[in-house]
Amino acid sequence: MATVEQFKEIDIRVGKITQVEDFPEARKPAFRLAIDFGSVIGVKKSSAQITENYTKESLLGRNVLAVVNFPPRQIGPFLSEVLTLGVPDDRGNVVLIAADSDVPLGGRMY
Q: Which residue ranges make up each domain of the chain?
A: 14-96
> What does pTM read for this prediction?
0.95
Question: pLDDT digits over 30-85, tens only?
Answer: 999 999 999 999 999 999 999 999 999 999 999 999 999 999 999 999 999 999 99
Which pLDDT value is given to residue 72? 98
Which pLDDT value is given to residue 101? 79
List of E strands, 23-91 = 31-36, 43-48, 63-67, 73-75, 78-80, 83-84, 86-88
- Rounded Cα–Cα distance for residues 74 and 71 (Å): 10
Task: Using alpha carbons only, give the angle 14, 20, 25 rounded to the nearest 5 degrees.
Answer: 120
Which CATH code for domain 14-96?
2.40.50.140
What's the half-sphere exposure (Cβ side, CA atoms, 13 Å) at 9?
6
